[in-house]
Structure 1
Amino acid sequence: MTDESLFREVDEEVRQDAYKKLWDRFGNLFIALAVVVVGVVGGIKGWQYYQQTQSETAAFVFSEALKKAADGKNDDALAALKAVKHSGYSQLARLREAAILADTGEAEKAVAAYDAIAADASVDPALADLARIRAGYLLVDTATPDALLGRLGKFDKDGEIWRHQAREIFGLAAWRTGDYVMADRYMNAIFADPETPAGMRQRAQVMVQLIAPNLPKS
């Protein structure tokens, strides 16, 4: 499975939750601003119009950048994404920039871009965590299991939204390094979780079958 297809699955599984949390974050700001200027009808309308036009412009630029990326015009797409200034869309643009770097074989630069997003306190926590997970998938073939645990260990808890992806990363890294007992533990945890996405459950089932012949005989 390619990094691109993994990214696509990750995006599909969490897009709604990430966007909701992003709106929750910036929506509160818009409400607070409206309270400050309450009673000044003209001011409110002017602010709302400004915000609407800024958001619509950012949405258009972001959409055009995605089209360029889909057409393989990655340099043009990156340039367009850097032009996105609206607070919410700029965070999504940074994620897409990193994804384009990954898609074009610039794995180290992509990881650095994701790490920068994750370390930025101004980034919505849901998107920062998405950046951490994407970096983890890029590193699964090269980083040590301990290094990946250091990056993503906080997600290895029941109830964490990213637990499935983190455990898949840990399991794949353990498989790669020959720690079949650990790999089996993580893949079975994914398979047994009733909230695991269907596609990931199927992958975990396949991995459990591949791991089984390598486990110590009881």
Structure 2
Amino acid sequence: MSNDTLLREVDEELRRDRMRKLWRQGAPFIIGAAVGVVLLVAGYEGWNWYHQGNSARSSDQFYAAAAIADGTDFEAAKTALDGVIATGSGAYPALAQFREASLLAQAGRTDEAVAAYDSLSTSLSDGHLRELALVMAGNLLVDGGDVAAVENRVGGSIAPDSPLRNAAREVLGLAQYKAGQLDAAMTTFTAIVDDPLAARDLTGRVQIYIQQLLAEGATAPVVSAPVDVPADASAEPSVAVDPSAELDVSAPASSAEASSSAP
């Protein structure tokens, strides 16, 4: 093997390792800032019930369970969250289900966590929260390389009017990359870059994915014509939100855990 060939292989491996590291760092935040918008639905519902005098007990119960979940006693946390799910009112049972699914993922019980999110996607009345559950489930399945399983969950959220469209695209693109579908991943990631409302931190991360795909031989993306964005258009928030942390609140006022292995 020539020195040039060896250097190219080392460079390619370093690039691939950089993408793995980026995935590990970004996975807990993969849903992005759009999750904050979606979770306002649950927050508003809980606030509304609280003011009707129906959820004070559930509020206390949920926050107590969330505090236990911050610790290391998995069984105690699960038991406390199960109590909220069984007897809580308003938005608190749903919040407890999200927190429990996250807890399962953190414990490495990925299949159970995916099943929990899948259950939420069929049992919740709010459409945005159903979408969120599916994207969270898809995120946990990325490392398995089963593109169909991921796409079955996140495909509906890629619609242009979905607040989770770019989170769904990132999850799908990573699954495609993991499965060796480089051109498909390139197309998916390019859709994020072409979205004028995509958050800046997300597009920066995706640009690194695209550079890695090019280094591995993917077809270069077609450059789209500039899109004029109305002055009053609201861009996606640029600050990423960790869904687990958002749901894991410790007082009234942490992918989704991702697999530790990289795509």
SS at match of 2:197: coil
Aligned length: 195
Match of 1:101 in 2: 104
Match of 2:242 in 1: none
SS at match of 1:160: coil
SS at match of 2:58: helix
What's the TM-score once normalised by structure 1's chain length? 0.78
Q: Is the 8 A contact 2:104 2:110 kept in 1?
A: yes
1:89 aligns with 2:61: no
Q: Matched residues in 2 for 1:19 and 1:130: separation?
A: 12
Task: Give 1:157-196 correspondences, 5 Å limit.
Answer: 157-196=159-198
Q: Is the 8 A contact 2:169 2:189 kept in 1?
A: yes
C-alpha change, 1:203 and 1:131, in structure 2 (3 Å) is same
C-alpha change, 1:89 and 1:25, in structure 2 (3 Å) is closer
Task: State which of 41, 58, 73 in structure 2 corresponds to 1:20.
Answer: 41
Letter in 2 for 1:78: K
Q: Which has the higher helix share?
A: 1
Gaps of 5+ in 2: 1-22, 221-263
Identical amino acids, percent of aligned pairs? 28
Q: Matched residues in 2 for 1:2 and 1:68: separation?
A: 26
Q: Is the 8 A contact 2:138 2:149 kept in 1?
A: no
C-alpha change, 1:212 and 1:8, in structure 2 (3 Å) is closer
C-alpha change, 1:77 and 1:216, in structure 2 (3 Å) is closer
Task: State which of 188, 207, 211 in structure 2 corresponds to 1:205.
Answer: 207
C-alpha change, 1:158 and 1:196, in structure 2 (3 Å) is same
Match of 1:75 in 2: 75
Q: CA deviation at 1:10?
A: 2.6
Task: State which of 106, 111, 116 in structure 1 corresponds to 2:114.
Answer: 111
Please list the CA deviations of residues 106-153 of structure 1 after superposition, one character each: whole Å capped at 9, or x if unmatched.
Answer: 000000111111111x44222221110110000011152233222221
Over the aligned positions, Cα root-mean-square deviation in angstroms equals 2.7
C-alpha change, 1:25 and 1:92, in structure 2 (3 Å) is closer
Gaps of 5+ in 1: 31-47
Task: Give 1:15-164 correspondences, 5 Å limit.
Answer: 15-20=36-41, 23=44, 51-52=52-53, 54-84=54-84, 85-120=88-123, 122-164=124-166
